[in-house]
Amino acid sequence: MDTTQTLAGTLKLERLEVNLFRGTTPDADQRQRIYGGQVIAQSLLAAYETVEARICHSLHCYFIRPGDPSIPIIFEVDRSRDGGSFTTRRVIAVQHGQQIFNLAASFQAAEEGFEHQAPMPTAPGWETVESDAELRRRQAAPREDEDWIDRNEPIEMRRVDGRLDVPAPEPREPNQQVWFRARDPIGDDPHMHQVLMAYASDMSLLGTAIRPHGVSWRTPGFQSASLDHAMWFHRPTNFNEWHLYAQESPSASGGRGFNQGSIYRASDGVLVASCAQEGLMRMKRAKS
């Protein structure tokens, strides 16, 4: 991504009609397919363009086909319901005349109510954990792709156990903790803080189910892809601040891995969002 551009700027949509929007892919020439978090974020942005004075509290989506980064994505919003307290929207993302993704989201007017939350788990402070950029430089194999090592990610991530995907990873427990935040200033719009957190929520979650099996995305013959994604926004937050993403995978079976994640604000331990995702994870069969 051009360092003169921010992620919020590159995700923005062009309005084509009242309920129709067009978006493009950042760094399209560097991608073979569209990153799942991008289409989640842009679909949520499209829904927000049709909602007034309400905040998203949950979204549920399915990845249907791989996205083509070389062409724009068309987002069509269905205004399902505008109720007294809740607003519901459905968004369909289309390329080459076919659905590649759909999202259903619910928005709520501000309301006071009962409150409780699970406590933030114990974790080393973000300032003591090596960044992904530093890990890539330190763990890179000889003659590694320099663009991969030095790429400027819009989301800053720090993995507590210091594990990156490598050609021959060792099996680990099916859980991980990641510190993350948006690198560039987002501004005061609470919608955009949700959108960028939704973008980031897909970056490491599927990898949790892969950890026990001693494989990575660089293992020959291994296939992985997000199948669905759900997210619940519990409380507003500033995603320019550090957050702890605590992830676990209770199950993998049938060529699929199931993952759950809880996002806590570092400054006060408040649980701001929860995620769940199922993803494809399989080894290709050798041709006979």
Active site residue 108: no
Kind and range of the H or E run holding 56 = strand 55-63
The distance from CA 268 to its chain's CA centroid, rounded to whole angstroms, is: 23
Active site residue 98: no
User: Which position among 177, 216, 249, 277 bears the catalytic label?
Assistant: 277
Distances in Å between the alpha carbon of 131 and those of 69, 180, 240? 27, 10, 16
Catalytic one of 226, 247, 249, 262: 226
Contact criterion met (CB below 8 Å) for 261 and 201: yes
Distance CA 262, CA 269 (A): 11
DSSP for 64-103, please give it.
-S---TTS-EEEEEEEEEE-SSEEEEEEEEEETTEEEEEE
Catalytic-residue membership of 226: yes
User: Pick the catalytic residue: 43, 132, 176, 202?
Assistant: 202
Half-sphere exposure in the Cβ direction for 4 (13 Å, CA): 0
Order across the sheet with 14-17: list the strands: 14-17, 20-23, 73-82, 86-95, 98-108, 55-63, 222-233, 271-283, 256-265, 243-253, 175-182, 155-159
By the 8 A CB rule, do 158 and 131 touch? yes
Tokens of 287: 């041709």
Catalytic residues: 202, 226, 277
